[in-house]
Amino acid sequence: MPAAAQLTPKAGAVVTTPHVRAELIAHAPDGVAPGSPVWVGLQITHQPEWHTYWKNAGDSGLPTEMTWTLPAGVSTGEIAWPVPEKIPVGSLANYGYENTVLLPVPLEVSTLYKPPVALAGGTPSMDIQLKASWLVCRKECIPEEGEFTLSLPLQGSTALHKADFDTAQAAQPQPLAKPGAIEVNGNNLQVRLEGLPAAAQGKTLAFFPETPEVIRTAAVSGKDWTQSWQGGTWTATLPLADQRSASPTVMPVVVALAPADRQAGQPVAWRAESPVTGNWPAAPQRAEVSPALQAALTANAANAAAATQPAPNTTPSSTTFMAALLGALLGGLLLNLMPCVFPILAIKVLGFARQAGNASAHRKAGLAYTGGVMLSFLALGGAMLALRAAGAGLGWGFQLQSPGVVAALAALFTLIGLNLVGVFEFGRAAPSSLCSAQAKHPLANDFLSGVLAVVIASPCTAPFMGASLGFAIGLPAGQALLLFAALGFGLALPYLAASFVPAVARLLPKPGLWMHTLRRLLAFPMFATVAWLVWVLGQQSGIDGAGTLLALLVCMAAIVWALTLRGRTRVVIATVLIAFTALLTGAIGRNVLQVVEPAKLASAGAGAQRWQPWSAERVAELSGAGQPVFIDFTAAWCVTCQYNKKSTLSDAEVLADFDAKKVAMLRADWTRRDPAITAALTTLGRSGVPVYVLQAPGKAPVVLTEILSKDEVRAALAAL
């Protein structure tokens, strides 16, 4: 028998938090060699009353996840989940672990593995690295993560943790010889399992489905569901979840003996993959979120960045993906009705008028504009997906979370407005070579107006857009980019269609003096956009930042005007103004780019007292006290958010309904980048704002539509 080897953990083999002690351990009875059994695992020791979760977390929570870094020729199998326990949480129930649990994982060592050469006098070993994340909960939930390293000796037996792995192995569900059967009968599941051992027959068994959000997890045996024995066959009738999100054709299920009925050395649980027959009832029509997302919504803000990692790429059904494409197309089409797109539409109306009577020019302009829109949507969507994959907590409209981008857009729209109002002509302020290039390639203007349309439209989220954008985050890159392309095509479609329909061009009056009046009129939507952008910057950089931006915009306007002068006057005045602007920028320009701490809500006025700032801790506190919560995920740069805030969310009848139901109203301000808010949005299947969530203890959180109506809010409140 080989001599026992000493398992030497590195300094990074243990991670300790205020709530758990997590350690990477291993067990290799015959050493590390191809074909030999080798086990590694994460052992989690919980503080009293805290718990982590099984593969199906139940009504709330998230399962522990592991990502391994191993030498070439070595791979891991799936987590061998021990049988969980049912953990009641108010009127809900979770599946998870308390006290100490080991989550074992088998290592598979192939013949391709090349052991490292040991240093003189040393023992050869295999270095194992693990990055794990887990959600630990009591009344509040806190996402945690850790990085672990371990050196596993290649020779001899590592028996230090043999008892821990033996205990975990004893808690593994044993496979049943027969798969059993599950039948959908109305709003219930009828389960039949055969081949259970004599030691289990006649006992009351706990039931754990591996597929989440199918049954009513908190159902109590003898009250909401029944079970019985007929010889060696166990049958049970279980109620379906009120907000079921899955309709599987095969359900892996686990049944387990109660702790009092378990005997040492005997199996305690059994597993079967049962086919499902019968017709599933129709899923609910309202867009709702499973209660399993509540834990992530109430996660601690300091650690929520751990939850911002994108979901693993999955391949959706063709029907689901086509529905998402249609939603993206409709969302892009409706985006044309959003206020933030009006300035760009104004420019396109003027372009139509200039090309009246020239059908060929119309078609080319429409194609160029569409190309600019679609390529910009693809570039912006690709950048968001790439940055999120790299760990950045970003969502749709992320570029306007940067004060520098907001200031640059304000400057651009100021220049456009000054040009439209007649302060300067491009030919006078730009080099003649550039003007010549513009004349030779007029389609560049149409292409760039499409780019600008996407940049300024991204803060808006039209109906159908929210779900499609959130769905895109979890898709493979190719499919996700198709959704962004569909959004862009929807935005460009009205102008593209009009450019190919001669009847539209014939409706326009012939070019004339009226165009000069229209051009000056269209300058004012540009200036209105500048006012909005300055206000957005004020939310990010404070009153000093907004004031500095206004001062610099005035200086820029003066420089542009000076460049329209002639002769020596132009040189002198422009030089003085440029020098003054440079000095002013050096003195106070940093105010524009600073990011101030979020201001406390003003205490004056009823509206300010009504809304509280969102935080994970505050949601957990209110939920623990049994109080319903309404969360407004918003941003200053989101025009749709501001419209809903000033209309529906300020309506006296709606506010009276909130008061009558004693609903706490929280506002999650995403004007500045906030990983905790990004994590909560990702959990809800959204990647941008606005998002409105109404949640109450014991009920599934309800996500309302982006364009919020009074009737919708009042109906949701009435259902509490």
Structure confidence at residue 97 as a pLDDT band (50, 70, 90): very high
For 29-46, the three-class secondary structure string (H helix, E strand, C coil) is CCCCCCCCCEEEEEEEEE
pLDDT of 95 over the 60 cut: yes
pLDDT value, residue 232: 84
Range in 225-234, 290-299, 450-459 with the lowest mean pLDDT = 290-299
pLDDT value, residue 308: 35
Range in 8-12, 220-224, 372-376 with the lowest mean pLDDT = 8-12
Structure confidence at residue 305 as a pLDDT band (50, 70, 90): very low
| Residue 617 is assigned to a structural domain of this protein | yes
Strands (E), 38-140: 38-46, 52-58, 65-69, 74-76, 85-89, 92-97, 100-109, 125-137
- The mean per-residue pLDDT over the stretch 187-194 comes to 90
Query: Is-above-0.85 flag for pTM?
Result: no
Residue 8 CB-density burial (10 A; 0-12 exposed, 13-18 middle, 19+ buried): middle
Between β-strands 92-97 and 188-193, what pairing exists: parallel, antiparallel or unpaired?
unpaired
Per-residue pLDDT of 164-176, as tens digits, reads 888 999 999 999 9
Domain co-membership, 670 together with 712:
yes
Q: 3-state class of 693 per DSSP? A: strand
Domain co-membership, 23 together with 150:
yes
pLDDT value, residue 601: 36
**Rounded Cα distance, 282 and 279, in Å:** 9
Q: Is 75 within 8 Å of 309 (Cβ atoms)?
A: no
Q: Which domain holds residue 226?
A: 175-277
Domain co-membership, 167 together with 179:
no
For 527-542, the three-class secondary structure string (H helix, E strand, C coil) is HHHHHHHHHHHHHHHH
Structure confidence at residue 338 as a pLDDT band (50, 70, 90): low
**Rounded Cα distance, 20 and 43, in Å:** 10
pLDDT of 143 over the 60 cut: yes
| Residue 701 is assigned to a structural domain of this protein | yes
Q: 3-state class of 304 per DSSP? A: helix
Range in 256-260, 541-545, 559-563, 585-589 with the lowest mean pLDDT = 541-545
- Taken in order 539, 542, 547, 548, the sign of the CA dihedral is negative
**Rounded Cα distance, 268 and 262, in Å:** 6
Q: Above pLDDT 90, what percent of the chain?
A: 20
- The mean per-residue pLDDT over the stretch 96-119 comes to 87
User: What residue spans of 390-522 are helical by DSSP H?
Assistant: 403-421, 426-429, 432-440, 443-457, 465-473, 477-499, 502-507, 514-521
Per-residue pLDDT of 412-443, as tens digits, reads 778 878 877 888 765 444 444 444 444 456 67
- The mean per-residue pLDDT over the stretch 137-149 comes to 82
pLDDT of 290 over the 80 cut: no
Q: What's the Cα-to-Cα distance from 657 to each of 419, 538, 644, 692, 708, rounded to whole Å?
A: 49, 32, 17, 16, 15
Picking from 358, 705, 706, the residue whose alpha carbon sits closest to that of residue 505 is 358
**Rounded Cα distance, 685 and 343, in Å:** 30
| Residue 485 is assigned to a structural domain of this protein | no
DSSP secondary structure string for all residues of 360-386: HHHHHHHHHHHHHHHHHHHHHHHHHHH
Domain co-membership, 114 together with 56:
yes
Q: What's the Cα-to-Cα distance from 417 to each of 410, 425, 429, 513, 524, rounded to whole Å?
A: 10, 11, 15, 19, 7
Any idea what the CATH number is for the domain that residue 91 is in?
Answer: 2.60.40.1250
| Residue 92 is assigned to a structural domain of this protein | yes
Any idea what the CATH number is for the domain that residue 658 is in?
Answer: 3.40.30.10
Among 255, 277, 299, the domain boundary falls at: 277
**Rounded Cα distance, 43 and 418, in Å:** 66
Domain co-membership, 197 together with 149:
no
Among 172, 197, 226, the domain boundary falls at: 172
User: What residue spans of 500-566 are helical by DSSP H?
Assistant: 502-507, 514-521, 523-563
| Residue 325 is assigned to a structural domain of this protein | no
B/e letters for 586-607, b = 16+ CB within 10 Å, e = fewer, are eeebebbeeebeeeebeeeeee
Per-residue pLDDT of 473-492, as tens digits, reads 556 777 778 887 887 888 88
| Residue 373 is assigned to a structural domain of this protein | no
Domain co-membership, 205 together with 254:
yes
DSSP state of 699: S
| Residue 499 is assigned to a structural domain of this protein | no
**Rounded Cα distance, 225 and 234, in Å:** 14
Higher per-residue confidence, 565 vs 343: 565
| Residue 532 is assigned to a structural domain of this protein | no
Instruction: Domain count for the chain, please give it.
Output: 3
Higher per-residue confidence, 303 vs 521: 521
- Taken in order 300, 302, 303, 306, the sign of the CA dihedral is positive
pLDDT value, residue 428: 46
How many Å separate Cα 330 from the centre of its chain?
A: 21
pLDDT of 615 over the 60 cut: yes
Domain co-membership, 256 together with 130:
no
Domain co-membership, 189 together with 167:
no
